[in-house]
Amino acid sequence: MGGGVHSAQQIKQTDTDDTEDDKDSGSDVDPCDTLLESLRMMCCCILPDGGAATSTSGTMTTTTTTTQYVDTSNTGKNSPTVYPDRYSMNDNQMSSIKLLKNPLKKDQGKKCLVLDLDETLVHSSFRAVTGADFVIPVQIEDVVHFVYVAKRPGLDKFLSEMAKHFEIVVYTASLNKYADPLLDLLDPKGHIRYRLFRESCVYYDGNYVKDLSLINRDLSQSIIVDNSPASYIFHPDNAIDCSSFIDDPSDRELDQIGSFLAGVRDVKDVRKVCNMWREWPLIPHVDGLHFPLQGGDNGGSVGHGSGVVLDARDEQCPR
Ligand SMILES: [Mg+2]
């Protein structure tokens, strides 16, 4: 369960386990529905409409983990931070943004794995759900609501395995007041090196886009995993287009993605292979691939797209 400091007066828990009296009260308004807009604003990457932030000038500010673009054209103290806007910034302005510091020494040489959060790694809801892994208190307009979070099956193993091969970055369009405490719970061992939130997304055509050209990493060495195609519309060749996780306990997509990512960790250019992840390991040979070993991690062979049976040990490619 998530922690958090809040007074009893401030807490309003939204729970679908209402009493019969509540259900018969004559009100058709589901308290969860009243929060849908808030949920959309907080947890989803895509907004159907909404005000585009206009930023024509700004400065770079550095936090402990990220460098963010902060708009200074709007001097209102309560609304100083916005996201880069593709419509109002030229290429030079955009290219000056570096959302991430250089990789840590222990991550140098690794590819960068950019992970979406909602519906990719977890599903979150204001509705109380049985089996939720975490409950995060989030304050919205002076009221603390509880967000129920379910981890996608296989998430813990996925993060620990991917951390061996990749520099992991979570890049979410959600607000940090929700995502930051959640990531503290999801990643107690610190596998995730950097966290990027909504203010680091680019507002483009009504969507919050995760612009990989801004993260200060080689695009040939960067992969994004995201359930929303609009999030990676600028770099589709770098994307693994996972399905949306809601509540399916038999979901095993992280296992498949993890196997693929481990296999492509040494390819020269990820953009040549990302679109083949669903067929993995039955894909054509590319230099640097590590095909999984049949019958376990330490032996065997596997067929691939060319129809040739490979000895996986022959595919090993030193970094
Ligand atoms: Mg998502």
The overall average pLDDT reported for the chain is 74
Contact call for residues 85 and 93 (beta carbons, < 8 A): no
Question: How far apart are the CA of 123 and the centre of ligand 1, in A?
Answer: 9
* pLDDT (mean) for 139-150: 92
Question: How far apart are the CA of 269 and the centre of ligand 1, in A?
Answer: 25
For residue 254, the tally of other CB atoms under 10 A from its CB is 25
Question: How far apart are the CA of 312 and the centre of ligand 1, in A?
Answer: 34
pLDDT value, residue 271: 98
Q: How many separate domains does the chain show?
A: 1
Task: Indicate the angle between helix axes 253-263 and 155-165, nearest 10 degrees.
Answer: 10
Q: Is residue 310 part of a domain?
A: no
9: Cα separation from own chain's centroid: 33
Question: How far apart are the CA of 287 and the centre of ligand 1, in A?
Answer: 31
- The two counts, helices (H) then strands (E), for the chain are 6, 14
Sheet strands (E) in 141-283: 143-151, 166-171, 192-196, 202-204, 207-209, 222-226, 239-241
Write the pLDDT tens digit of every residue in 237-287.
999 999 999 999 999 999 999 999 999 999 999 999 999 999 999 999 999
Q: Which of 10-24, 192-206, 272-286 has the lowest mean pLDDT?
A: 10-24
Question: How far apart are the CA of 99 and the centre of ligand 1, in A?
Answer: 19
Query: Whole-structure pTM over 0.95, yes or no?
Result: no
* pLDDT (mean) for 291-317: 42
Question: How far apart are the CA of 197 and the centre of ligand 1, in A?
Answer: 12
The CATH number of residue 178's host domain is 3.40.50.1000
Question: How far apart are the CA of 305 and the centre of ligand 1, in A?
Answer: 30
Give the C-alpha distances (Å, rounded to integers) separating 100 from 62, 65, 196.
9, 8, 9
Question: How far apart are the CA of 120 and the centre of ligand 1, in A?
Answer: 5
CA-to-CA distance for 103 and 101, rounded, in angstroms? 6
Span between the terminal Cα atoms of the chain, in Å: 41
Structure letter (DSSP) for residue 281: T
Q: Name all contacts of 242-251 with Cβ < 8 Å and 24+ positions apart.
A: 242/120, 244/119, 244/120, 245/119, 245/120, 245/121, 245/122, 245/123, 245/152, 246/119, 246/123, 247/123, 247/129, 247/150, 249/153, 250/153, 251/152, 251/153, 251/154
70, two tokens: 């902060």
pLDDT value, residue 277: 97
For residue 123, the tally of other CB atoms under 10 A from its CB is 21
Q: Is residue 290 part of a domain?
A: no
Q: Is residue 136 part of a domain?
A: yes
CA-to-CA distance for 113 and 116, rounded, in angstroms? 10
Active-site residue, 133 included: no
Length of the chain: 319
Residue 70 has pLDDT above 70, yes or no: no
CA-to-CA distance for 246 and 15, rounded, in angstroms? 18
Annotated catalytic residue, options 71, 116, 226, 266: 116
Q: H-type helices in the chain, by residue range?
A: 20-23, 36-43, 91-95, 155-165, 176-186, 253-263
pLDDT value, residue 293: 78
Q: Is residue 315 part of a domain?
A: no
Q: Is residue 227 part of a domain?
A: yes
Domain containing 243: what range? 58-280
Write the pLDDT tens digit of every residue in 83-109.
566 667 777 777 788 999 999 999 999
* Secondary structure (3-state) at 295: coil
Phi and psi angles of residue 120, each rounded to the nearest 5 degrees, phi first: -110, -50
Contact call for residues 99 and 215 (beta carbons, < 8 A): yes
Q: Is residue 113 part of a domain?
A: yes
Annotated catalytic residue, options 85, 118, 187, 266: 118
Active-site residue, 116 included: yes
Q: Is residue 154 part of a domain?
A: yes
Q: Give the angle 166-168-174 at the CA atoms, nearest 5°.
A: 155
Q: Is residue 42 part of a domain?
A: no
Question: What residues form DSSP beta bridges with 301?
Answer: 311
pLDDT value, residue 294: 65
